[in-house]
Amino acid sequence: MKVRFLKPAIFASAIMLAACSTVPTTTPTLDQARADFVAANNNPQVSSYAPLEFKQASDALNAANAAAAKKDSLEDIDRLAYVAKQKIATAQEVARAKAAEANIADASRQRNEVRLEARTAEADRAKREAAEAQAAAAAAQQQAATAQQQAATAQDQARMMAERTAKLEAMLGELQAKKTERGMIVTIGDVLFATGQANLTPNGMSTLRKLADVMAQNPERTVLVEGFTDSTGSSSYNQDLAQRRANAVATALGSMGVPRERIAMRAYGEAFPVAPNDTATNRQLNRRVEVVLSNDANPIPPRTAGR
């Protein structure tokens, strides 16, 4: 089954989708999936050896393109584009594997022809086969040793990762961190600052030292320091207090060894309350600094309404 006819169909689909809007929605993942598809479509091995897989890849890419044309959410477009990328990669890998099998089969056929032509040199052939068998045994032994070494390395890495994850979870547990889609959030409450000021109390500094230890042991992660207040007072005063408290937390983390380029700040003032500003207790909950710890090396998504 050949799938070369899919190329104009896919390109026609892409043109039609582009015509749906003067500024089509796209993402880097979708752009890469399209480029990968073109590369696979231009590879004759894919159409020869992986027609079914390539058809599935083209269907997946059509779904991602359709989502982009409808201006679906970037998350949905990225998810569909990622699926398309994986299916394209699968088609390419299947094609490579089957092409290799074909090459091996062809090599085997040629070897048999040589053997038929060399029947009169039986002794030489026997020596050659013995040498080949010995080389194959040596290669198999080497491969087994390599596989064993790789397995041991993988086990060590898995153990280290598990230990590191357990340690991180324990440290974040001490900080009462809350897991969110944006990352782990550590809240520096109002009681950890001097009343109405941006100066951290000793307990506040102790909390930040624990967070600095987490940052030191996870150098791929970054933090976003966000300052908030209650609605008491003027908006300008609340914005300034939120900014000063966020600056105080960021400065303290820097003094504890966290590189400045790993720390970002944002002040929101009285925006994004976590409780109604109707009682003293609730207002105190709103006077806070939240430190968002990134998920691994991923960027921290911006705050949106409702989160």
Helix (H, G, I), strand (E, B) or coil at 184: strand
Question: What is the rounded distance in angstroms from the CA atom of residue 226 to the CA atom of residue 245?
Answer: 9
Q: How do residues 174-225 score in pLDDT, each as one tens digit? A: 899 999 999 999 999 999 998 889 999 999 999 999 999 999 999 999 999 9
Tokens of 286: 């709103």
Check: CB of residue 252 under 8 Å from CB of residue 205: yes
Q: Which residues, in sequence order, are CB contacts of 266 under 8 Å at separation 6+?
A: 224, 225, 226, 227, 246, 303
Burial code (b: 16+ CB inside 10 Å, e: under 16) for 65-74 equals bbbbbeebeb
Query: pTM for the whole thing?
Result: 0.50
Q: Which residues, in sequence order, are CB contacts of 185 under 8 Å at separation 6+?
A: 177, 178, 179, 290, 291, 292, 293
What are the C-alpha distances in Å from 6 to residues 59, 93, 191, 203?
10, 19, 64, 65
Domains (range + CATH), the chain: 6-101 (no CATH), 175-293 (3.30.1330.60)
Q: Which residues, in sequence order, are CB contacts of 231 under 8 Å at separation 6+?
A: 238, 270, 273, 277, 283, 286
Which strands make up the sheet holding 288-293, listed edge to edge? 178-179, 184-189, 288-293, 223-228, 263-269
How much is the CA Rg of the chain, to the nearest whole Å? Answer: 30
Instruction: Work out the end-to-end distance of the chain between its first and last CA atoms, rounded to an integer number of angstroms.
Output: 51
Q: Residue with structure tokens 């599935």?
A: 56
| Strand 288-293 versus strand 184-189 pairing type | antiparallel
> In which region does residue 16 sit, left (phi positive, over 0), alpha (psi from -120 to 50) or beta (all else)?
alpha
Question: What is the rounded distance in angstroms from the CA atom of residue 56 to the CA atom of residue 183?
Answer: 34
Q: How do residues 4-18 score in pLDDT, each as one tens digit? A: 444 445 544 554 444
Determine the residue type at 257: G
**Tens-binned pLDDT, residue by residue, of the chain (307 aa):** 444 444 445 544 554 444 444 456 899 999 999 999 999 999 999 989 989 999 999 999 999 999 999 999 999 999 999 999 999 999 999 999 999 999 999 888 888 888 888 787 888 888 999 889 888 888 888 888 888 888 887 888 888 777 777 888 888 888 999 999 999 999 999 999 988 899 999 999 999 999 999 999 999 999 999 999 999 999 999 999 999 999 999 999 999 999 999 999 999 999 999 999 999 999 999 999 999 999 999 999 998 865 5
